[in-house]
Chains A and B, each alone.
Chain A
């Protein structure tokens, strides 16, 4: 589903930070060039001493000045790389989060929240590492390698050439090993996704796990994911463990060459002892950046794998551009020949329904008939595969979502709470005024409850709303929708967790306080909807009957069956 035009390139991440990266490169080059000069100063000192014209103060001053400049430059470079990497990471996170925030609910489910969490944390960390370490290290390593080889060649080109010849050998070693490690890094991130998912499930399902005492199977599940992560890690290690020793060994060959060949030159008198010393030092300088490059290419492989995952989200097609019409709807809703495809069979099939302004309509039907999905269609949470949803005769897609969502209140079936205050949970849409908030609270019969809390509306709701009872959560959800002062109210099985008396009062409140509402209510209880303008009976994705209660009692045996299953209670309730 994600189309990638070209292979994501990790260097794209720093494209818009040219100045920062430029400064970083400048500092890195500066530090490394100066570092190269220092051994030469010492060699010069030694040669000057042998020649008998050694002047300590001059050498000391030269040396100290360079050392201090190096100190300042390294501090500058260190902090610059921290600043640059954190900035890149922060901006990339923001970009990623904005991209996700614009996606549909389906996209987030499809992409899987656990994976998105890894994208935003662990994957970005890998990018950070790339900017903080890889870029300066590549630059300084290359500078050092080029500088050191130039100096080696300059001091003694024959010996220098012999040593520089080692570089391709090292290059080949790297290439062979890293081409094998690359794919393993992608697997590592996938293993982390897996771990995240198991941890996530074990936390969200913690109550169930304790009720069933299934801590052990959970542990086994975790152990399996964890072992997979370890095996991949060990696989990488097996390859990676060879890199450093191999490179060290190949570089050590350089020292053997210097001793064998350079020794000959010194004996023959074609090379000074001071130069021989400098050669040894430059050799060490020459090796170190090569080893660093080895490490870094490992890091780049990891960062590239992570960036590919991030880019897949960033490059996901944009959602269809929003409509432009500012909604000021009357509440006329028409569902026209709507079909919604599912994985195995259609979830909804050829649904048509017309709801006039201020009408009250109920949708009833068995479990998994597609009732909730039908409501989702009405707010655009899912898009119909075929057919249209019309508000006041205009297609849902033509409206600006922002203004439409402000007029259509949705009370979800499952309770969704944010770790915010009660006030923020109810006035979740920030445009809600105090007055509307109070009216919503009163209508949802939450006034007494809120008054009983020491901090009232400013009480913080814990994550997943564990501090509230099921019914309280459902009423908060209702208040959240009502606080919008909506023209249309969609209730998804709202009455399921509220006791009969409260339910009755709430429904009366709604009728009184929000008399202009168009109401669409998915419910199981016939008794509370008997007087509705229309009742649609949904079964297996199709509307098999619709009409008033009386009409349905006449015409639909399925409706009568549902009615009968609730009859005994009705007699009790009508008694009061």
Chain B
């Protein structure tokens, strides 16, 4: 069973064994919107295969009727017909390749979008429980396995199946008994393929998993490169990578062996069929049951039957790899966010506090209780400070306020209504949360400040600057060499932590939230600038409620109320002096 808040992928438990028809049905859902293209490609494949199959028959007919009983004029006529047939086949084949390739690209596009959209719909807990590199690998690498199948294999798949069926029918029509004999090895192949498929798929799945693992190693090491250098552990990256690489190498060879097992056996079967044909065919000619002219056609059809079948052997491996990729993607797509939006309950209550915690507890899936049955209320327009030792639960409390998580027990009320009843748009408009670890996107300061802000997205530079000046943020912008146009990077040290915090501050402020939460939001900003930030906060509308988490005492001294958070409990501190007393002498519990 899936305990609440558990979004861990790669749990190692065996995925539900889904039957082939069920998987095909799901895959069909992917290409359903491409129905018309698939149909067109289908017709093209039929035409192409039909035309290509007619070729040998025409040749056989010409040999029997016009070469053995010489009539060179008719031979030329047949050559002309053949040329026409092949020209048509050219057009049909082009259409087929192009159309199915387009379907493949569209499916890949849609699939990647679906996975990414799913990622966006999942709560923060999901990201805390999974590795970045593995997720990237799923979105890129695993979807590509499906792309390979859809764009290259699927059309060949359908094409070859037609070829094989067509050639089989021609064989049966020309001489039934001989056909049955030469098709016998194919039946054995079918059985063998059925038996080995599950194994092939599982080997591919293991390989994809190890690729994801390797991707995670690279991701982590590159992101933490400066520690690796400063602590003299360049060998760490090499070694960790080498381990992951070796593991990937082994699983790749195993899956390669699995994928490669079919091909030689199919080749062999094809040769056995030819041998049967040679022996039995000559016997049939000697008894007069087979015209000698059709000996050539028959041989060609045997090749037309077994050659695509050999390709099918390779395609089958691609198909199994696609199924394995599909499993890993499906693992994400099956996840559902626990943070469902409830039907809105009662209307906003007039005298309800802005935010209220009622008997709230919160714990992670591993069982550790972080917040233990706390209740408190925040009145509109007041400033609250959360203080306490590190690891006491301050950030978790703040995250619950912003509904980054839901409490495992108890309820949180926003303006008297269960916070779970709010649409995200409405909720996030009311609550501004400056996170402890500021995050920037690659781009300019402007893009980062306006990120996710529909209201100001279309303002021109001048209007923007006026708006900033009005909000008193102009002075902060001067901390960036090119103001709003300064380039910043998501990783690396080109932008200092303090600057990142300034951007995060501005980003939250211009949204004018009702509840502003600052989680150590100014910790790395110098105290002079911080005083400036304090002034800006003080000028916010009177009804703005502020929750401040900070270690610097001057950051919290102006708070109306101070809560002492420790060991998952929350205690009103009464006065500033009392809070300091608790801070200095309170024993850390965690």
Asked if B551 contacts A496 (CB within 8 A), the reply is yes
Q: How far is the CA of A223 from the CA of B120 in the complex (A)?
A: 13
Main secondary structure, interface of B, reads helix
Q: How far is the CA of A97 from the CA of B108 in the complex (A)?
A: 30
- Number of chain A interface residues as a range: 35 or more
Asked if B552 contacts A525 (CB within 8 A), the reply is yes
For B23, list chain A residues within 8 Å (CB). Answer: none
Asked if B252 contacts A86 (CB within 8 A), the reply is yes
- Asked if A158 is at the interface (CB within 8 A of a chain B CB), the reply is no
Asked if A367 contacts B135 (CB within 8 A), the reply is no
B237-274 interface code vs A (CB 8 A; 1 in, 0 out): 11001100110110011001100100111011001101
Asked if B527 contacts A524 (CB within 8 A), the reply is yes
B86-124 interface code vs A (CB 8 A; 1 in, 0 out): 110111011001100110011011001100110111011
- Asked if A469 is at the interface (CB within 8 A of a chain B CB), the reply is yes
Main secondary structure, interface of A, reads helix
Give the segment of A276-284, A389-397, A511-519, A543-551 that binds chain B: A276-284
Asked if A259 contacts B62 (CB within 8 A), the reply is yes
Q: How far is the CA of A497 from the CA of B549 in the complex (A)?
A: 10
Asked if A470 contacts B580 (CB within 8 A), the reply is no
Known: A255-B59, A493-B524, A501-B583. A121 touches B441 (CB 8 A): no
Asked if B116 contacts A101 (CB within 8 A), the reply is no
Asked if A215 contacts B120 (CB within 8 A), the reply is yes
Known: A71-B264, A255-B82. A116 touches B101 (CB 8 A): no
Asked if B285 contacts A218 (CB within 8 A), the reply is no
A534-576 interface code vs B (CB 8 A; 1 in, 0 out): 0000000000000000000000000001100110110011001
CB closest chain-B residue, reference A231 = B105
Asked if B224 contacts A418 (CB within 8 A), the reply is yes
CB closest chain-A residue, reference B426 = A213
For B468, list chain A residues within 8 Å (CB). Answer: none
B418-442: which residues lie under 8 A (CB-CB) from chain A? 424-425, 427-428, 431-433, 435-437, 439, 441-442
Q: How far is the CA of A255 from the CA of B303 in the complex (A)?
A: 15
Q: How far is the CA of A101 from the CA of B299 in the complex (A)?
A: 59
Q: How far is the CA of A64 from the CA of B123 in the complex (A)?
A: 63
What are 23 of the A-B contact pairs (CB < 8 Å)? A46-B282, A82-B253, A121-B141, A132-B256, A199-B140, A201-B441, A201-B442, A208-B435, A210-B124, A210-B404, A237-B101, A248-B89, A249-B89, A260-B79, A263-B63, A277-B296, A380-B229, A469-B394, A493-B523, A525-B527, A565-B531, A572-B553, A572-B580
Give the segment of A15-23, A73-81, A434-442 that binds chain B: A73-81
What is the CB-to-nearest-CB distance from A43 to chain B, in angstroms, rounded to a whole number?
A: 9
A217-235: which residues lie under 8 A (CB-CB) from chain B? 217-219, 222-223, 226-227, 229-230, 233-234
CB closest chain-A residue, reference B558 = A568
Known: A196-B140, A202-B119, A222-B116. A367 touches B529 (CB 8 A): yes
Contact of B90 among A249, A277, A367 (CB under 8 A): A249
Contact of B234 among A101, A273, A376 (CB under 8 A): A101
Asked if B106 contacts A230 (CB within 8 A), the reply is yes
Asked if B390 contacts A499 (CB within 8 A), the reply is yes
For A466, list chain B residues within 8 Å (CB). Answer: 127-128
Known: A117-B218, A367-B498. A213 touches B452 (CB 8 A): yes
- Asked if B55 is at the interface (CB within 8 A of a chain A CB), the reply is yes
Known: A207-B439, A566-B554. A428 touches B264 (CB 8 A): no
Asked if B451 contacts A212 (CB within 8 A), the reply is yes
- Asked if B75 is at the interface (CB within 8 A of a chain A CB), the reply is yes
Contact of B131 among A233, A367, A463 (CB under 8 A): A463
- Asked if B467 is at the interface (CB within 8 A of a chain A CB), the reply is no
Asked if A75 contacts B264 (CB within 8 A), the reply is yes
Q: How far is the CA of A503 from the CA of B63 in the complex (A)?
A: 97
